[in-house]
Chains A and B, each alone.
Chain A
Amino acid sequence: QVQLQESGPGLVKPSETLSLTCTVSGGSVTSDYWSWIRQPPGKGLEWIGDIYHRGITNYNPSLKSRVTLSVDTSKNQLSLRLTSVTATDTAVYYCARDLQAEYSSGWSIYFAPWGQGTLVTVSS
């Protein structure tokens, strides 16, 4: 079955760029949409955005100006870049397979499975 594993620096300085990688195993990054979701310590979930391997992306409007998602099909990896970070970007960052479909009765979108998550702290 599909498994995901996030990796990257656990500490980033304010105003710098946060960069994370998600390695997909047991499946291909070309087969589905993939989302990034974050969770500040002790708080709820926030959807960052999603990507399809053909370069189709959707971003949360609240983060759109600072985030870039990409896919490396040769490595079967996803990447997240978030620029100009502040302490409010401190969170556990998750990647997840994004299963979505549009029906006559509306959009269906859900995330499964998820990676284990990686904590990124923004601090000098």
Chain B
Amino acid sequence: QSVLTQPPSVSAAPGQKVTISCSGTSSNIGNNYVTWYQQFPGTAPRLLIYDNNKRPSGIPDRFSGSKSGTSATLGITGLQTGDEADYYCGTWDNSLRAGVFGGGTRLTVL
């Protein structure tokens, strides 16, 4: 059981937009910054978004992040088949004093 809650799967057609939600509490998302990772099968996760909405160099601006209260959202526009992957949100939890993640969301580009 993950501390942060994500939908198990989302899907959309190529070229469309999709959003992935991440829900937490005031102990984690509500009072800390949110991060998003992208993971292709058999590979290590890759940093996609940090500090709620910042993109590391090399990440296309089709990927965006936002946070409101105790929830965060990853948005992907102009979907490509190459975006099919698992996406994880993460943050720090002040009560657990630990890094925490969501259970991951599998994105399918139909």
Contacts and interface: CB of A to CB of B under 8 A. Distances in A.
A93 B51 CA distance: 25
B104 A61 contact: no
B104 A60 contact: no
B101 A47 contact: yes
Contacts of B98: 47, 49, 58-61
B101 to A, nearest CB: 4
A58 to B, nearest CB: 7
Given A44-B2, A45-B88, A107-B32, A112 B47 contact: yes
Contact of A44 (B32, B50, B102): B102
A45 B32 CA distance: 19
Contacts of B102: 44
A109 B103 contact: no
Interface stretch (A9-17, A24-32, A113-121): A113-121
B109 interface: no
Interface in B75-110: 88, 90-92, 94, 96-104
Interface residues of B, number: 28
Interface string A43-79: 0111101100000001111000000000000000000
B33 A107 contact: yes
Interface residues of A, number: 29
A112 B37 CA distance: 10
Nearest to A95: B44
Contacts of B37: 45, 111
Contacts of B44: 94, 114-117
B61 to A, nearest CB: 18
Contacts of B60: none
Contact of A106 (B32, B43, B46, B103): B32
Interface of A: 35, 37, 44-47, 49-50, 58-61, 94, 99-100, 103, 105-117
11 contacts: A44-B101, A44-B103, A45-B104, A47-B90, A49-B98, A59-B98, A106-B33, A107-B94, A108-B51, A109-B33, A110-B90
